[in-house]
């Protein structure tokens, strides 16, 4: 038996998750010598800190779209783990497992019923390319990359010639990939961000046509100027709230809204409710808009093969760049949620849990724009 440290959920947070009150570390013993029958013992390598993890803390949600955390148990996220001991013929020691159910623990066990059960499609073996950091598989080649690529393919399809796109939170990881994919397709892009540094990043690194700070700019004026008389064809929305309201007033007829997230509402509560989308029904009706949300896992069957054929080459060739904010060590996990939800990060926020082998997993600058 060895000591095993985990980040656990203590209770459903009200507002921003607080370390020591809502989430905290716990230590227990785990057997890492013998694997479960047809199962695995794994060592967590790295975990992506995604906005959607805030939703898995909403224990009172009667109709969650994904499994919720359980009080007192290890939290999980989209991550990578290395097989320590295998009891399954399809896996061997040293294999790398990618799954959205990676435990926020030093070690964890994957039982036969999980590995070979209904969720087995969520467990993927990857063979990391030698010239890429393993964390790339949590960024451009992980769930954020799949989110950007698959949602565009499935909801928008091919961009119309001379079309215009508004990306909220364009400097966020998914947003930055969407901006690059759209620019390569010849689309004119306007994007928002929450600081002047991020606005500069959008202009100078991503090459968007226009960028603004949503905290200080007149959003309506920015979108009206960019859209002109015909309006803006597409919205890729990661934020919701005021920015979505503004787009609805400046959208083109037959416009398309891709609803990827609503980060402005993730910490909403009775005392601080989310902003009402006041003109939504009439705008959708009058402008004949297509509005569609998605869960990226539901897009895998149609687009996973295409993703793995196209995206790794784009990343290797430098056509698709990404910026990762890699924090090192288990201690970095708890505080990363507040940093994510308050924008105190630059690029994809990832925690490298296996700090002992940092040199093995991180071999190049995680900032692809440096």
pLDDT in tens, 243-259: 999 999 999 999 999 99
Q: In the prediction, which pLDDT does 84 show?
A: 97
Q: What is the token pair recorded at 50? A: 């995604």
Q: How confident is the model at residue 61 (pLDDT cuts 50, 70, 90)?
A: confident
What is the Cα–Cα distance from 361 to 45, expressed in whole angstroms? Answer: 8
Q: How confident is the model at residue 272 (pLDDT cuts 50, 70, 90)?
A: low
Domain residue spans in the chain? 2-138+322-361, 143-296
pLDDT of 273 above 70: no
Q: In the prediction, which pLDDT does 219 show?
A: 97
Tell me, letter by letter, the H, E, C secondary structure of 123-186.
Answer: CEEECCCCCCCHHHHHCCCCHHHHHHHHHHHHHHCCCCCCCEEEECCCCCHHHHHHHHHHHHCC
Q: In the prediction, which pLDDT does 117 show?
A: 56
pLDDT of 160 above 80: yes
Domain covering 143-296, topology? Rossmann fold (3.40.50)
What is the Cα–Cα distance from 287 to 285, expressed in whole angstroms? Answer: 6
Q: In the prediction, which pLDDT does 218 show?
A: 98
CATH of 2-138+322-361, one of 3.40.50.880, 3.30.70.20, 3.40.50.2300, 3.90.180.10: 3.90.180.10
pLDDT in tens, 82-93: 999 999 999 999
Q: In the prediction, which pLDDT does 72 show?
A: 94
Q: How confident is the model at residue 276 (pLDDT cuts 50, 70, 90)?
A: low
Return mean pLDDT, the chain.
Answer: 91
Name which of 16-20, 109-113, 247-251, 285-289 the model is least confident about: 109-113
What is the Cα–Cα distance from 7 to 108, expressed in whole angstroms? Answer: 12
- Model's pTM, two decimal places? 0.86
| Average pLDDT, integer, range 58-67 | 85
């Amino acid at each position: 038996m060895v000591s095993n440290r985990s980040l656990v959920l203590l209770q459903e947070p009200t507002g921003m998750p607080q370390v020591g009150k809502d989430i905290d570390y716990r230590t227990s013993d785990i057997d890492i010598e013998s694997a479960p029958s047809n199962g695995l013992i794994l060592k967590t390598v790295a975990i992506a800190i995604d906005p959607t993890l805030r939703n898995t803390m909403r224990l009172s949600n009667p109709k969650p779209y994904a499994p919720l955390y359980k009080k007192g148990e290890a939290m999980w996220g989209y991550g990578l783990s290395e097989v320590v001991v295998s009891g399954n013929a399809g896996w061997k020691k040293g294999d790398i497992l990618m799954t959205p159910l990676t435990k926020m623990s030093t070690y964890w066990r994957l039982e036969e019923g999980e590995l070979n059960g209904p969720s087995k499609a969520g467990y993927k073996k990857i063979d990391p390319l030698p010239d890429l950091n393993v964390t790339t598989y949590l960024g451009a080649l992980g769930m954020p990359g799949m989110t950007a690529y698959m949602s565009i393919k499935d909801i928008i399809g091919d961009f119309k010639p001379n079309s215009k796109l508004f990306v909220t939170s364009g400097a966020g990881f998914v947003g930055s990939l969407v901006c690059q994919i759209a620019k390569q397709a010849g689309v004119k892009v306007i994007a928002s961000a929450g600081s002047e540094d991020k606005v500069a990043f959008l202009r100078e690194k991503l090459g968007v046509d226009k960028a603004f700070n949503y905290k200080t700019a007149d959003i309506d004026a920015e979108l009206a100027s960019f859209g002109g008389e015909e309006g803006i064809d597409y919205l890729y929305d990661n934020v919701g709230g005021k920015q979505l309201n503004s787009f609805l007033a400046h959208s083109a007829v037959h416009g398309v809204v891709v609803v990827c997230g609503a980060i402005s509402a993730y910490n909403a509560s009775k005392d601080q409710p989310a902003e009402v989308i006041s003109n939504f029904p009439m705008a959708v009706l009058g402008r004949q808009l297509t509005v569609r949300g998605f869960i990226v896992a539901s897009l895998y069957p149609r687009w996973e093969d295409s993703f793995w054929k196209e995206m790794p080459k784009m990343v290797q060739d430098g056509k698709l760049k990404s910026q990762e904010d890699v924090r090192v060590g288990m201690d970095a996990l708890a505080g990363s949620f507040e940093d994510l939800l308050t924008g105190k990060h630059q690029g994809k926020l990832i925690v490298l849990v296996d700090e002992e082998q940092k040199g093995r997993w991180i071999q190049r600058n995680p900032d692809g724009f440096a």
